Amino acid sequence: MPQGVDRAMRVLELLAREPAQLGDVAADLGVHKSTALRLLQTLEAGGFARRRDGGWTVGLRLIGLAQQALDSLDVRTVAHPHLAALGRDCGHTVHLAQLVDDELIYVDKIEARGQVRMYSRIGRTAPLHASGVGKVVLAFCPEPRLTGLLDRTELRAYTPGTICDPAALRAELAAVAARGWAADDGEFEPLITCVAAPVRLADGAVTAAVSVTAPTVVATLADLQRLLPRLLATTQRISRDLGWSGP
């Protein structure tokens, strides 16, 4: 990959995480500030970066392209009205996450009104081993694909509840596959809990999942488990709309 393209991609990844100062960009690239400034100015001219509060963040053109990419994912288009209905019905935050290559991406989110905002944001990644949606997708992966994903996944401990032992994770995934849904009880964010269920494509493959999420001060895991019939009915309707005809 040409050096200039590689540097531009690294800058965009940095700015996508959070706004950065010129010195931060230069340090991340390992270049002089003048070189980083020229690159930022080039990205700014193309609409991919913009100045904000004395620093730099992603440009509106990049945001627009990301939205177009998300809109092109059929699962999101089909699922959205069902997610909105589920959100209105249950009153909690609803997520749709989809596996793209080796990463699980939040592709849609229905915010709960009046609740504490969470880490999740459309376009961000969800940890495969430490999220309800991640465990659902892993649980229904064919074995060769599952082994490859686990080999390439860092089993990072986000909280004391994160499952980091490969054998324990395998056991958890087997339980998820058997019951048809997963839970995250503070495994990624402390005091945040969720239940998640699979979305099936026409061929039965599971590359996406829907979750209902809430702070534990609002709803405990037991509270969310009582919403499972609604969640499972929603994911079944989405799967049917995607062409799945299985039981």
Residue 216 has pLDDT above 60, yes or no: yes
Q: How far apart are the first and last CA of the chain?
A: 47
Residue 1: band (very low, low, confident or very high) from pLDDT cuts 50, 70, 90: low
* pLDDT score for 3: 79
Please tell me the least confidently modeled range out of 5-9, 91-95, 236-240. Answer: 5-9
Q: Average pLDDT in the 150-163 region?
A: 94
Domains and CATH numbers, the chain: 3-62 (1.10.10.10), 73-241 (3.30.450.40)
Residue 49 has pLDDT above 60, yes or no: yes
pTM for this prediction: 0.73
Which range, 16-20, 97-101, 233-237, has the best average confidence (pLDDT)? 233-237
Average pLDDT over all residues of the chain: 90
pLDDT tens digits for range 159-187? 999 999 999 999 999 999 999 999 999 99
* pLDDT score for 123: 82
pLDDT tens digits for range 132-148? 999 999 999 999 999 99
Distance, CA of 74 to CA of 76 (rounded, Å) = 5
* pLDDT score for 192: 93
Residue 73 has pLDDT above 70, yes or no: no
Residue 199 has pLDDT above 90, yes or no: yes
Residue 236: band (very low, low, confident or very high) from pLDDT cuts 50, 70, 90: very high
In 3D space, the residue among 80, 76, 85, 75 whose CA is nearest the CA of residue 230 turns out to be 85
